[in-house]
């Protein structure tokens, strides 16, 4: 999504699921394949019911692959881009739109300090390139290593893609936040530029969604912590709507973080987040917020905040990786993950901790709240002149889905965490070979949780990768990747009536 996205692997397996009940033994193991390396980390782009399409890429090389529905490798195409002018372009993103892979690469031109974005298309069935590269647009760039970030968000039906980049021009302080929408053939459909000046750029854009009609929704976070919900309405030529998300409206002592949004079956926009309070300089989670906005009129129908004790023992962490699931009756389950970053000597330690859960009725009443104990620590150790990754981040974070009257949450965990008491510091998941994959079943009526080991990695001779892969279809199945020592296979978790 950004230039460093393949390395950062910040994507989660994001799922919208309907159907019946899920049990740990309902696993379909795909055929075993030999990976190109033991660090094989593909991204699952699409499951169309007949094939699974994956990619793995860095700045200068990409692999695109098609597997059968049983996980058998059909083809693997290696892509090495040729020079444009005097330089090689750098790969920014690979997506799957309609029936083809689309690769995006930026080319830096030193003669005029510009970065030009190109697209390359490859047939999904064969992996063969179709046509020549397409020049999309150019933006000013200071240097080859400082050409700005590109964000790529496919629409919900994979027929369009939104590209966002921020452009700084000269020393004027003038900054342009550029949004462009393309169809799958790379025809530009809409564009919008927001011009601000350096001192005014005190925000970051997060949690982008592009609906099938081409409207864009995202959360804008100001540096002082204030959140806004923003929409560019495709039906009104991307006219802008913005609404502040402020928990202090109902309680002056509250602020909100970890904001997420989604659309219920009535197409109302639902916004929720974690409420926090600061006491003696320490910020702690103390509750949750629920907001409902009419998608057409933009009227705020409901705004409620709740405080409760469920989250208070989580500590002063920031919240990230939110996910939202709606039941058939339009009730909402919201999940957010504790995350923190710590510096220790020459190492950066990252902790992905407990999960906060809250459920709301369609009119905003809090049904229940709970938390799931989890602690996963990994680090990057600086060993001059190299940086060594101490563990593999793709085994961290969580997978969630809803089916019937249950919410299911999967993650890799240290077995000792299963007996950890509230507030007690638990062991980390490092190395991953010491972990077990956990299935957490949460009853949607009362929020009670049942923990169960998902499968035995030693018996299966494989380990589940949580990060870096996610299906983008409306299939009711979860598809993840498992790998150990260079042998990988797809894991299909069946949701059946």
What does each of the 497 residues of the chain score in pLDDT, given as a tens digit? 333 333 222 222 222 222 223 343 367 889 999 988 877 888 889 888 899 999 999 888 999 999 999 999 999 999 999 888 878 899 999 999 999 999 999 998 878 878 899 999 999 999 999 999 999 998 877 665 555 689 999 998 899 999 999 876 656 666 788 999 999 999 999 999 987 765 555 678 888 999 999 999 999 888 777 889 999 999 999 999 999 999 998 999 999 988 889 999 888 999 999 999 988 888 889 999 999 999 889 999 999 999 998 887 776 678 888 889 998 889 999 999 988 766 666 666 667 788 999 999 999 999 999 998 887 766 554 444 444 444 556 777 888 888 788 888 888 887 776 666 655 555 565 566 778 888 888 999 999 999 888 888 888 888 888 765 554 443 456 788 888 888 999 988 765 43
- The structure's pTM equals 0.84
3-state helix, strand, coil split of the chain in percent (to 5) is 5, 55, 40
Q: What whole-number distance in Å separates Cα of residue 283 and Cα of residue 300? A: 28
Q: What whole-number distance in Å separates Cα of residue 271 and Cα of residue 291? A: 5
The helix/strand/coil state of 126 is coil
pLDDT score at 25: 38
Instruction: Find the distance separating the first CA and the last CA of the chain, reported in whole Å.
Output: 36
Q: What whole-number distance in Å separates Cα of residue 355 and Cα of residue 447? A: 13
Burial 311-337 (b: 16+ CB within 10 A, else e): bbebbebbbbbbbbbbbeeebbbbbbb
Burial 446-461 (b: 16+ CB within 10 A, else e): ebeeeeeebbebeebe
pLDDT score at 161: 97
pLDDT score at 343: 64
Q: Residue 422: which of 377, 378, 372, 376 has the closest Cα?
A: 372
Helices first, then strands: H and E counts in the chain:
2, 35
Taking the alpha carbons of 90, 92, 97, 100 in that order, is the dihedral positive or negative? positive
The residues facing 154 across adjacent strands are 161
pLDDT score at 102: 98
pLDDT score at 122: 98
What does the DSSP 8-state code read for residue 235? G
Cis-peptide, bond into residue 21, ω within 30° of zero = no
């Amino acid at each position: 999504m950004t230039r460093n996205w393949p390395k950062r692997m910040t994507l989660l397996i994001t799922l919208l699921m309907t159907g019946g009940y899920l049990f740990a033994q309902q696993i379909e193991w795909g055929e075993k394949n030999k990976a190109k390396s033991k660090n094989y980390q593909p991204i699952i782009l699409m499951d169309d019911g007949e094939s699974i399409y994956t990619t793995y890429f860095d700045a200068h090389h990409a692999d695109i692959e098609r597997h059968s529905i049983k996980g058998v490798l059909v083809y693997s195409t290696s892509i090495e881009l040729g020079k444009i002018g005097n330089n090689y372009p750098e790969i920014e993103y690979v997506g799957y739109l309609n029936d083809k892979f689309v690769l995006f690469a930026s080319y830096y031109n030193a003669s005029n300090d510009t970065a030009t974005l190109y697209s390359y298309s490859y047939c999904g069935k064969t992996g063969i390139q179709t046509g020549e590269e397409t020049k999309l647009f150019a933006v000013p760039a200071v240097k080859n290593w400082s050409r700005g970030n590109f964000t790529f968000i496919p629409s919900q039906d994979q027929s369009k893609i939104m590209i966002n980049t921020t452009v700084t021009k000269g020393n004027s302080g003038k900054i342009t936040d550029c949004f462009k929408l393309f169809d799958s053939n790379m025809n530009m459909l809409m564009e919008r530029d927001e011009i601000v000046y350096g001192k005014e750029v005190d925000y970051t854009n997060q949690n982008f969604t592009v609906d099938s009609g081409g409207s864009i929704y995202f959360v804008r976070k100001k540096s002082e912590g204030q959140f806004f919900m923003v929409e560019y309405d495709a039906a009104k030529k991307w006219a802008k709507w913005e609404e502040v998300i402020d928990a202090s409206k109902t309680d002056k002592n509250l602020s909100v973080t970890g904001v997420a949004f989604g659309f219920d079956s009535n197409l109302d926009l639902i916004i929720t987040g974690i409420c926090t309070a600061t006491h003696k300089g320490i910020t702690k989670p103390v509750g949750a917020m629920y907001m409902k906005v009419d998608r057409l009129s933009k009227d705020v129908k409901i705004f409620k905040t709740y405080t409760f004790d469920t989250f208070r023992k989580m500590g002063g962490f920031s919240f990230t990786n939110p996910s939202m699931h709606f039941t058939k009756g339009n009730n909402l389950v919201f999940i957010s993950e504790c995350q923190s970053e710590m510096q220790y000597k020459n190492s950066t330690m990252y902790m992905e901790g407990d999960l906060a859960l809250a459920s709301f009725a369609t009119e905003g009443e809090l049904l229940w709240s709970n938390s799931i104990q989890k602690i996963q620590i990994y680090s990057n150790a600086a060993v001059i002149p190299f940086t060594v990754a101490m563990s593999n981040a793709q085994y961290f974070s969580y997978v969630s889905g809803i089916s019937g009257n249950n919410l299911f949450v999967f993650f890799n965990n240290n077995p000792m965490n299963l007996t950890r008491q509230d507030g007690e510091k638990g062991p980390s998941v490092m190395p991953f070979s010491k972990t077990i994959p956990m299935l957490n079943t949460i009853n949607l009526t009362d929020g009670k949780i049942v923990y169960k080991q998902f499968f035995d990695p030693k018996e299966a001779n494989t380990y589940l990768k949580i990060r870096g892969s996610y299906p983008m279809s409306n299939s009711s199945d979860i598809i993840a990747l498992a790998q150990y020592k260079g042998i990988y296979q797809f894991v299909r978790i069946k949701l059946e009536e």
